[in-house]
Amino acid sequence: MSNRLLQVIALLITVVAATPASQAIEAKNPNIIVVLCDDLGFGDLRCLNPEGKIATPNFDRLASEGVAFTDAHSGSSVCTPTRYGVLTGRYAWRTKLQSFVLGGLSPRLIEPGRETMATMLKSKGYNTACIGKWHLGMNWKLLPGKDVSELTIETPEQVHNVDYSAPITDGPNAVGFDYYFGISASLDMVPYCFIENDRVTALPTEEQEFPLFHERPTGKTRKGPTAPGFTTQSVLPELTKKTVEYIAQKGADARGGKPFYLYLPLNSPHTPVAPTSEWLGKSGLGPYGDFVMQTDDALGQLMAALDKEQIRRDTLIVLTSDNGCSPQADFPGLIKQGHNPSAHFRGNKADVYDGGHRVPFIVSWPAGARAGVKSDRLTCLTDIYATCADIVKAPIADDAAEDSFSFLSALTGERVAGQPERTSIVHHSINGSFVIREGNWKLAFCGDSGGWSNPRPGSGAADELPPLQLFDMAADPNERKNVQAEHSDVVAKLTAQMAKLVDDGRSTPGAPQANAVAVEFRKPAAPNKATSRATGKGKVPENPLANPFE
């Protein structure tokens, strides 16, 4: 070998060694996998809650290999609106869905022409796939003269208003995904069958209902059309299997410079809480703990598949949850055993309190992110969009990702000059109550939980409370002391800021945008208790385990 060649090789080695992380990121776009667990609590992960009693070795390993965010939140404390935000980078309360969630037969919520994570990454050469629970609406072919609910769960009569043998339109394939396999909505909603791209894999010719919780005598899913042989226990294993297969299929392409984006919204540990026999009893805490462990194992299988294809280093994994843990998990029983799915935070799924929307959020990217780091940066799930756009150098138009801030600097440890950072965040509860958080101040525009924990909307206790709740999250992270009366200046400031965020149609810098409907962030006065009891309006059912609006 000539001296000249040796000099060139030495120079190349020096250049590569001196290349900063930001330039290394620019050289190769990573594969991107977003794992969205369903109703997984912040306190369910040992790496975030050392007091937790559920073994989560794969979640913990992912955190040790990446950045664990301790102040990350979903935009909503329930399912559909969070999923909209993940895929669009926009708060879902800017759409026509102002409360509750869609059903399994609801039409598409994502507006035609709106850019999504999938369309953005496709424009950068990515293969795109969604495997899992969709719950953002898809257009089923309706039988002549029949209809289904648009912005809520279908009625028992409507479950037979669909021609299940016909192709589905305006589903995941219509918003940028090359491939889709999964279920249309939560696993307690019809139809009980798998969908591949635009067709059911087997016609739902039977009529079934399933237990909401393993061996719990009360509580069933909504009864409706079911494919022969379909069981709730089969869903998580099937989604895991399809994920491993997809990674194996795309491994060679990924090694060759054709990256993939996989959106993996799991069905677990949401009801039906249905761990397979292999996992029953493993946690020592009951079926919910077992189902969390099975979910952790699904992540482990995904990571093993990446290792097998030798693409783990060049894959960015985001692991999070759509909202806090559901009371179906049996909080009193778990707490008796020393485990709180919400950790030390107040409330649960559906609420304005942090237990409803503070979620696990771990990002691992061996080739481009720091490892073993905890970040207290205020983060929203809508921010996944801008971060990925930042990584792949995709421009964001004014009418896209209006509520998405990049957290790339938290991953690399390198501050980006001129990059806007999130200073506030807006949350939305199941009944449409709003919350704004800025710094340590959190203002809820309601006097109750907005959801399923006490004080419940429409209850007598809630009727007697002030119409606003202000919490100092530094001094009172458990949200026990409402200080709105002592800090009228903070209330006024946050109220004005909330009004601006609504009026501007965005929270990021850029041209003002239009919301789909008029947005009223101040909750109207609570209905008279007697009227609520007589009409049912304004009142959440008494039994929190009923979860009627999932």
CB neighbours (10 Å) of residue 468?
Answer: 18
Candidates 236, 233, 229; CA nearest to 206 is 229
Residue 8's identity, in one-letter code, is: V
Half-sphere exposure at residue 254, Cβ-oriented, CA atoms within 13 angstroms = 28
Neighbour-count burial of 152, counting CB atoms closer than 10 A to its CB (0-12 exposed, 13-18 middle, 19+ buried): middle
Candidates 196, 176, 378, 213; CA nearest to 291 is 213
First and final CA of the chain: distance in angstroms?
A: 69
Separation CA 421–CA 400 (nearest Å): 17
Rounded to 5°, angle at Cα 74 from 70 and 79: 140
- Whether the upstream peptide bond of residue 191 has omega within 30° of 0, thus cis, is yes
> Is 285 among the domain residues?
no
CB neighbours (10 Å) of residue 256?
Answer: 8
The four Cα atoms 152, 157, 163, 167 give a dihedral, to 10 degrees, of 10
Q: Give residue 419's pLDDT.
A: 85
Residue 133 is classified by DSSP as E
> Is 205 among the domain residues?
no
CB neighbours (10 Å) of residue 421?
Answer: 13
> Is 430 among the domain residues?
yes
Candidates 363, 489, 494; CA nearest to 427 is 494
Q: Give residue 524's pLDDT.
A: 67
Range of the domain at 452: 425-546
> Is 160 among the domain residues?
no
Helix (H, G, I), strand (E, B) or coil at 377: coil
> Is 211 among the domain residues?
no
Q: What are phi and psi of 9, to 5 degrees?
A: -60, -45
pTM beyond 0.75, yes or no? yes
Half-sphere exposure at residue 85, Cβ-oriented, CA atoms within 13 angstroms = 32
> Is 163 among the domain residues?
no
- Extract the tokens encoding 149: 């609910």
Q: Could you tell me if 58 and 303 are in contact, meaning their C-beta atoms sit under 8 angstroms apart?
A: yes
Please list the ranges in the chain whose pLDDT falls under 70: 1-27, 524-550
Q: Could you tell me if 62 and 362 are in contact, meaning their C-beta atoms sit under 8 angstroms apart?
A: yes
Give the C-alpha distances (Å, rounded to integers) separating 56 from 18, 297, 302, 366.
37, 8, 15, 20
Candidates 86, 71, 89; CA nearest to 439 is 71
Give the C-alpha distances (Å, rounded to integers) separating 93 from 90, 158, 329, 349, 394.
9, 26, 27, 17, 25
Candidates 225, 174, 236; CA nearest to 200 is 225
> Is 109 among the domain residues?
no
Separation CA 191–CA 153 (nearest Å): 12
Q: What are phi and psi of 261, to 5 degrees?
A: -120, 120
Separation CA 115–CA 397 (nearest Å): 9
Residue 525's identity, in one-letter code, is: A
Element (H, E) at 435: strand 434-438
Sign (positive/negative) of CA torsion 509, 512, 518, 520?
A: positive
Q: Which residue has the tokens 């280093």?
A: 313
Beta bridge partners of residue 358, listed in sequence order: 73
Element (H, E) at 429: none
Q: Give residue 525's pLDDT.
A: 53
Residue 204's identity, in one-letter code, is: P
Q: How far is CA 84 from the centre of its chain?
A: 9
CATH code of residue 527: 3.30.1120.10
> Is 447 among the domain residues?
yes
Q: Could you tell me if 54 and 292 are in contact, meaning their C-beta atoms sit under 8 angstroms apart?
A: yes
Structurally, the chain folds into a number of domains equal to 1
Element (H, E) at 303: helix 287-308
